[in-house]
Chains A and B, each alone.
Chain A
Amino acid sequence: MSHSNSSPSGDREAVLSRIAEALREEAPRHYETLEKPASNSVTAAFREWLPAVGKTRKDQIALFTKQSGNLKTEFAECTSATAAAKEIAALAKKFKWKNIALHTNELVESIADKLPEKLGTLKVDDGYEKSALEACDAAITGCEALVAQTGSVCVTGASSGGRALSVLPPHHIVIAQKAQVVADLPAAFELLAQKYKRGYPSFISFITGPSRTGDIERILVLGAHGPKKLTVLLLP
């Protein structure tokens, strides 16, 4: 009954044949088959039913701003890399940061260069000690996109320094550009499909606010395990 370690993939054939056998009888449908819109894109269909998003970038940024407020994401528009660096320096001073982590990314690095020298930096690209990353007060990363509809930040291992950088340190700072704002989730998936035609990164994530839990009496608490604070800085 238990041992099938004879095959490294286990009971593959047995499971598949049970499935094939089971599917011989057709199952009733309990849903209405909806008409697909002309474009025939899978995601275009979803847009009809998901919450509405404005058409212009300005509308979308306004929506992202509103969503950020609800989610407790700190969102600010910065006129330049220098301005962004000022924002971050202010945070560093306020929260008495000693070390921040970052990754190889032109925009991120251009901002990090302008930060106070006494702030230690850890770049994760060439490998890192887990304990060293854990000791960092904040992480600065790029992103793939900002999703207006839900106020989400789309990151991948490729755009944002791997898997741990954006989740281990207690404050995650995202640097994005206006061109990266997309209307909705379908658009974000379309962007990823286009960009990573030749192969997706092994890690993709949609981050919607700082880490949270409602497990205790359904009371919202931020910073359960992931970052307690999420700051998104939008550059031109």
Chain B
Amino acid sequence: MTTSATQFQIDADRTTADEPRRAAVRSALGNYKVARDKTESAFASWQHARDAAAAIKYEGVNHLDHYLKEFEEKFTARGGKVFWASNGAQARDYILNLARERRVKSIVKSKAMTSEEIHLNDALEKDGYHVVESDLGEFIQQLKGEAPYHFVFPCMHLKREEIGALFQRKLGSEKTDSPEELTMIARRALRQHYLNADMGISGGNFIVAETGMISITENEGNARLATALPKIHVALVGIEKVVPRLADLALLLPMLATAGTGQQLTCYNSMYGGPRQPGEIDGPEEFHVVLLDNHRTRLLADAEQRDALHCIRCGACLNVCPIFKNIGGHSYGTTYQGPIGSVITPHFRGLQDWKHLSGASSLCGACTEACPVKIDIHHHLLQNRRNAVAEKKVWWERWLWAGFRELMKRPWAYQMAIRLAPLGQVFHPLVLGTSLDPVEPWTKTRDFPEAATKPFHDWWRDRKGVRK
């Protein structure tokens, strides 16, 4: 059975060779950079704003039990229901039972990465429910039978012609590759679902403790529709999404938009504080919030990396990551892609099985620089590497680094090794490019520099001699 690490290499081989796909992603993210730089520069101080945002999330996550209890108290006081799920199975079962008990027939979903994480759609469909993703990018990926490529831009890798052909095939629509027309096709296709659905399932960007609200950010309006019309609203939210106060959103919402898409503010930022209240015109009769742990408490317990739970899922780290840009979202083989995904997935799904995501990075630090809440992302990748080794050393690496250590502790041996290098290079051409070539992974695509015949320390020694 291929391990996820091996599969990763196989996928990376394929995607790094896919020049048109890489170019499409680069172009999309180039536009993002221009927009983001402009919006960021309008801030009186983006760097101070990051400190303030980081402080809010630090407060929320480091008093998580207190704030979750406060949220529950305020939310249930208004008729909301809170279900605490230790794992994906409990969350799935709760939602399935609810749908069954309420005789739900049709479900409309707005974007929720947590639902990807626990494979909710599969479970609902197995139970016979028709589930429709309403976010355009998710809708497209659902038709294609693919997972989202990026958790903010689910189909950024697709060209309009591909989407047009997909719609023709799956929806029987007219041939077109105009983004405007394709969007209208999706809009029309989804209209009836909003009107007919008896349950709307959403995620949540923030859990507001002070006022017992769930805040949802979107551009399209599909979440608003999915939570306005159906009788039942279920929000599946990670426990870490807590913010202490409603007013904290005055800072976090613009930062989420700026870092995520380069917008000053996303089109719709809505706060939901319960089901329809007495005297209100409309709204769901029931509002259930499923709080999902699913290994988040494990990450919480790792104090060094706890700030990875501050993540507001803006996607900025993906957008600037050269690894992501070259291998694409699907190569990660897991729900959360990019740098933050590479940090948290080993915690959520097993360190030894997923440490390769933390290994596949040059540690350039662009992610940490981009993060609006100052998560120390690239250092966490390094820490995951250390933790993986502390748990279990890789046999040949153990010998390699032990040998390296012994060599580097002996200047005479180190200097001799360097003196021998040019000699090694004389013989290198004999094995160059073959399986015997020790630097084949390098020489396959790049030239190797020539070792200097006189290393620096010899030059220095000789010069000292002359000067004496």
Which residues of chain A are within 8 angstroms of B283 by Cβ–Cβ distance?
157, 162-163, 202-203
A30 at the binding interface (Cβ < 8 Å): yes
| Partner-binding segment picked from B262-270, B327-335, B397-405 | B262-270
Which residues of chain B are within 8 angstroms of A130 by Cβ–Cβ distance?
195, 229
Which residues of chain A are within 8 angstroms of B137 by Cβ–Cβ distance?
213, 215
Q: Is B220's CB under 8 angstroms from A226's CB?
A: yes
B182 to chain A, nearest CB (A): 6
Q: Is B268's CB under 8 angstroms from A207's CB?
A: yes
Q: How far is the CA of A18 from the CA of B292 in the complex (A)?
A: 13
Q: How far is the CA of A150 from the CA of B90 in the complex (A)?
A: 41
> Known contacts being A3-B93, A205-B268, A209-B267, is A134 close to B246, with CB within 8 Å?
no
> Known contacts being A23-B62, A225-B220, A225-B221, is A15 close to B297, with CB within 8 Å?
yes
B345 at the binding interface (Cβ < 8 Å): no
A212 to chain B, nearest CB (A): 5
Nearest residue (CB) in B for A218 is B28
Binary contact track A28-54/B, C-beta < 8 Å → 1, others 0: 111111100000001101101111100
Which residues of chain B are within 8 angstroms of A49 by Cβ–Cβ distance?
43-46, 48-49, 52, 251
Q: How far is the CA of A208 from the CA of B306 in the complex (A)?
A: 33
A174 at the binding interface (Cβ < 8 Å): no
B254 at the binding interface (Cβ < 8 Å): yes
B301 at the binding interface (Cβ < 8 Å): yes
Q: Which of B58, B221, B275, B376 contacts A211 (CB 8 A)?
A: B221
Which residues of chain B are within 8 angstroms of A226 by Cβ–Cβ distance?
220-222, 224-225, 267-268
Interface residues of A in 151-200 (CB under 8 A from B): 151-152, 157-158, 161-165, 167-168, 184-186, 188-190, 192-193, 199-200
B236 at the binding interface (Cβ < 8 Å): no
Q: Is B224's CB under 8 angstroms from A217's CB?
A: no
Which residues of chain B are within 8 angstroms of A20 by Cβ–Cβ distance?
65
Q: Which of A43, A189, A206 contacts B265 (CB 8 A)?
A: A206
Q: Is A31's CB under 8 angstroms from B277's CB?
A: no
Q: Which of A19, A30, A201 contacts B277 (CB 8 A)?
A: A201
B211 at the binding interface (Cβ < 8 Å): yes
> Known contacts being A9-B83, A32-B51, A202-B78, is A218 close to B32, with CB within 8 Å?
yes
Interface residues of B in 238-266 (CB under 8 A from A): 239, 245-251, 253-254, 261, 263-266
Q: How far is the CA of A154 from the CA of B84 in the complex (A)?
A: 32
Q: Is A5's CB under 8 angstroms from B52's CB?
A: no
Size class of B's contact patch? 35 or more
Nearest residue (CB) in B for A67 is B264
Which residues of chain B are within 8 angstroms of A131 by Cβ–Cβ distance?
195
Q: Which of B135, B211, B228, B275 contacts A200 (CB 8 A)?
A: B211
Nearest residue (CB) in A for B40 is A51
Q: Which of B87, B182, B261, B275 contacts A216 (CB 8 A)?
A: B182
Which residues of chain A are within 8 angstroms of B93 by Cβ–Cβ distance?
2-3, 5
A55 at the binding interface (Cβ < 8 Å): no
Question: How many residues of A are counted as interface, with CB atoms below 8 angstroms from the partner's CB atoms?
Answer: 94
> Known contacts being A185-B253, A213-B136, is A16 close to B69, with CB within 8 Å?
yes
Which residues of chain B are within 8 angstroms of A8 by Cβ–Cβ distance?
81, 83
Q: Is A150's CB under 8 angstroms from B254's CB?
A: yes
Q: Is A167's CB under 8 angstroms from B228's CB?
A: yes
Which residues of chain A are within 8 angstroms of B306 by Cβ–Cβ distance?
27
Which residues of chain A are within 8 angstroms of B159 by Cβ–Cβ distance?
217
| Partner-binding segment picked from B149-157, B355-363, B419-427 | B149-157
A12 at the binding interface (Cβ < 8 Å): yes
A4 at the binding interface (Cβ < 8 Å): yes
Interface residues of B in 13-56 (CB under 8 A from A): 24, 28, 31-32, 42-46, 48-52, 54-55
Q: How far is the CA of A13 from the CA of B205 in the complex (A)?
A: 24
Q: How far is the CA of A35 from the CA of B81 in the complex (A)?
A: 38
Choose among A11, A20, A203, A210 the residue with the greatest number of B CB atoms under 10 Å from its CB. Answer: A203
B271 at the binding interface (Cβ < 8 Å): yes
Nearest residue (CB) in A for B135 is A215
Q: How far is the CA of A12 from the CA of B291 in the complex (A)?
A: 9
Q: How far is the CA of A4 from the CA of B282 in the complex (A)?
A: 32
Which residues of chain A are within 8 angstroms of B268 by Cβ–Cβ distance?
167, 205-208, 211, 226
A177 to chain B, nearest CB (A): 22
B53 to chain A, nearest CB (A): 8
Q: Which of B160, B225, B298 contacts A217 (CB 8 A)?
A: B160
Nearest residue (CB) in B for A162 is B281
Q: Is A48's CB under 8 angstroms from B45's CB?
A: yes
Which residues of chain A are within 8 angstroms of B61 by Cβ–Cβ distance?
27
A10 at the binding interface (Cβ < 8 Å): yes
Which residues of chain A are within 8 angstroms of B163 by Cβ–Cβ distance?
216
A21 at the binding interface (Cβ < 8 Å): yes
Interface residues of B in 358-414 (CB under 8 A from A): 374-376
Q: Which of A2, A9, A124, A214 contacts B261 (CB 8 A)?
A: A214
Which residues of chain B are within 8 angstroms of A185 by Cβ–Cβ distance?
249-250, 253-254, 265
Q: Is A43's CB under 8 angstroms from B247's CB?
A: yes
Q: Which of A19, A31, A42, A184 contacts B68 (CB 8 A)?
A: A19
B23 to chain A, nearest CB (A): 12
Which residues of chain B are within 8 angstroms of A3 by Cβ–Cβ distance?
90, 93
B97 at the binding interface (Cβ < 8 Å): yes
Q: Is A213's CB under 8 angstroms from B266's CB?
A: no
B165 at the binding interface (Cβ < 8 Å): no
Which residues of chain B are within 8 angstroms of A117 by Cβ–Cβ distance?
none
Chain A interface (Cβ < 8 Å from any Cβ of B): 1-5, 8-12, 14-16, 18-23, 25-34, 42-43, 45-46, 48-52, 67, 103, 124-125, 127-128, 130-131, 134, 150-152, 157-158, 161-165, 167-168, 184-186, 188-190, 192-193, 199-219, 221, 223-227
Q: Knowing that A14-B86, A168-B229, A202-B275 are A-B contacts, what are 6 other residue pairs whose CB atoms are under 8 Å apart, sorted by A's residue number?
A: A15-B291, A27-B304, A205-B268, A207-B268, A208-B268, A215-B136
**Would you list 14 pairs from A and B whose C-beta atoms are within 8 A, ordered by A residue?**
A15-B86, A16-B65, A30-B374, A30-B375, A34-B48, A49-B45, A49-B46, A51-B264, A157-B281, A161-B281, A165-B281, A208-B264, A221-B183, A223-B183
